[in-house]
Amino acid sequence: VTDRMVRVGLLGCGVVGSSVLRLLEAHAEDLLRRAGSRFEVARVAVRDPQRPRDVPQPTRGFTGDPSVLVGDPEIDVVIETMGGIEPARSLLLDALGAGKPVVTANKELLASHGAELFRSAGEHGGSLHFEAAVGGGIPLIRPLTESLAAERVSRFLGIVNGTTNYVLTRMTEDGMSFGDALEDAQRLGYAERDPADDLEGYDAAAKCAILASLAFNTEVRASDVYREGIARVSPEDVAFADRLGYVVKLLAVAELEDGDIAARVHPAMISREHPLAAVRDSFNAVFVHGPSVGELMFYGRGAGGEPTAVAVLGDLVAASRSLDRATAFRSPWYADRRIRPMEAMEAQFYLLLDVVDRPGVLAKIAGAFGDNKVSIKSVWQEGTGEDALIVLITHRANEGALQQTVRDLRAFDVVLEVRSVMRVEDKG
Ligand SMILES: NC(=O)c1ccc[n+]([C@@H]2O[C@H](COP(=O)([O-])OP(=O)(O)OC[C@H]3O[C@@H](n4cnc5c(N)ncnc54)[C@H](OP(=O)(O)O)[C@@H]3O)[C@@H](O)[C@H]2O)c1
């Protein structure tokens, strides 16, 4: 065991950063054994350096000026747990420009500016580690980039946002409305005061982009991912899903369609038998398919200070190894696949229609599907007096064709309302 000292600069000391400091101290001996290095946190940059913090103190103290930390030649590795695009982006580019390995938990930054970060790491002899950016404490990035280097992932399905999974779990198991379930999540600290980033699927889209970019080795940005949030999921959808043997989840799905990448985040019905259906509350999981390995599932706490800090410190070990190994950093994006626009993607759909209860209505509705080449897998009708509810599940269909079918249905006077359209993931 050597006594090499690796000096760390930490940007941000909030939920994740403070856990990094605590776990680094608590596990110093294990880290020394495993990495062959002692780690010393030299400086920590925060917004307010005066605020008292219940964390192990950095040797050279807290600073309110993060550029001092990044420019310090004595700092070997930079860990970023600040979040946001700027100043995180410029700071990490400066650190990478100086040839330093960087560890980051920042999904937002990676899913929008990953290319320039990877390029800078490659050009200046640094490296970029981001296990904590997706799935908190769940090891996902290293399995996808290293353990599965000899596999060609064909598809993954993930539950990558704990807040929305908690809300949907309460709606499913306790029959709560969306609003009540959200209030419950906020009370328990699972949802932020302004939960839009989670509920509208932005957080999941950033994570989906990062995972898709690693699975398919091509840059995928958050803005390339089709996105729909869960605000429109109704207790009625949840109840119908249950009757049909499904559970509603906010899924991040990415797959290769004719060699192109199709990536999307939206509420979907998934079979109750599928392993992802058992992922409850604020847990996360990603289910991966590959032709050689078959099916894999990664499950765990997708957020929280300690789980995420464990991932950060695993990356710190990798970063410290890269200091004395002259292996060039390789960008995981070496393929050049196209990204499918949403209208060209394919999925299975559930539709709930409120229709006039009259002979011939079903035939007319079926006609709209047929005209748009959307084939119906199953259909149920329930009378409610004057009108009836029709529930349809389609076979896999082109998204654009389905949207046209919905427009056609809305124009029929016998269709009182298209109450709901939701994707169904039956393929596993
Ligand atoms: N929380 C999680 O469960 C989780 C899970 C996975 C990934 N992440 C990612 O980890 C990152 C950090 O999340 P968090 O929850 O730990 O955030 P947080 O609690 O808000 O902490 C942010 C920290 O960064 C500091 N900071 C922010 N802007 C700064 C600036 N301009 N200059 C200097 N310091 C600045 C803050 O300083 P002050 O303390 O002085 O305010 C604070 O210490 C984000 O990218 C997030 O997406 C978080």
Average pLDDT for residues 204-211, to the nearest whole number? 98
Predicted confidence (pLDDT) at residue 428 exceeds the cutoff of 70: no
Can you give the pLDDT at residue 14? 97
pLDDT single digits (tens) 178-202:
999 999 999 998 888 889 999 999 9
How far is the centre of ligand 1, averaged over its atoms, from the C-alpha of 306 (Å)?
Answer: 14
pLDDT class of 328 with cuts at 50, 70, 90: confident
Residues 6+ apart with CB under 8 A from 311: 105, 131, 132, 136, 137, 138, 139
**Around 376, how many Cα atoms within 13 Å sit in the side-chain half-sphere?**
17
How far is the centre of ligand 1, averaged over its atoms, from the C-alpha of 97 (Å)?
Answer: 23
pLDDT class of 384 with cuts at 50, 70, 90: confident
Q: Which atom of ligand 1 is nearest to the CA of 109?
A: 45
Predicted confidence (pLDDT) at residue 119 exceeds the cutoff of 90: yes
Does the bond joining 291 to the residue before it have cis omega, within 30 degrees of 0? no
- Count of CB atoms situated within 10 Å of the CB of 364: 14
Give the tokens for residue 181: 């379930």
427 counts as catalytic: no
Residue type, 311: A
Report in angstroms the alpha-carbon separations of 76 from 41, 103, 241, 316, 374: 10, 12, 53, 11, 58
Of all protein residues, the one whose alpha carbon is nearest to atom 17 of ligand 1 is 14
Predicted confidence (pLDDT) at residue 1 exceeds the cutoff of 60: no
Whole-model pTM: value is: 0.96
pLDDT single digits (tens) 304-324:
999 999 999 999 999 999 988
Predicted confidence (pLDDT) at residue 2 exceeds the cutoff of 90: no
Above pLDDT 70, what percent of the chain? Answer: 99
Q: Which helix (H) or strand (E) holds 416?
A: strand 415-425
What 3-state DSSP class applies to 112? helix
Predicted confidence (pLDDT) at residue 427 exceeds the cutoff of 80: no
Residues 6+ apart with CB under 8 A from 139: 131, 298, 311, 314
pLDDT class of 383 with cuts at 50, 70, 90: confident
Listing DSSP states for 346-379 in one string gives EEEEEEEEEEE--TTHHHHHHHHHHHTT--EEEE
CA distance 226 to 328: 34
What 3-state DSSP class applies to 78? strand
pLDDT single digits (tens) 6-53:
999 999 999 999 999 999 999 999 999 999 999 999 999 999 999 999
Cβ distance 248 to 171 under 8 Å?
yes
How far is the centre of ligand 1, averaged over its atoms, from the C-alpha of 43 (Å)?
Answer: 16
- Could you say which of 207, 249, 364, 373 is catalytic? 207
pLDDT single digits (tens) 62-73:
999 999 999 999
CA distance 304 to 210: 19
Q: Which of 11, 16, 70, 198 to mutate to test the pocket of ligand 1 (most atoms within 8 A of CB)?
A: 16
Q: Which of 46, 80, 86 to mutate to test the pocket of ligand 1 (most atoms within 8 A of CB)?
A: 46
* Residue 75, Cβ density class (10 Å: 0-12 exposed, 13-18 middle, ≥19 buried): buried
Can you give the pLDDT at residue 324? 81
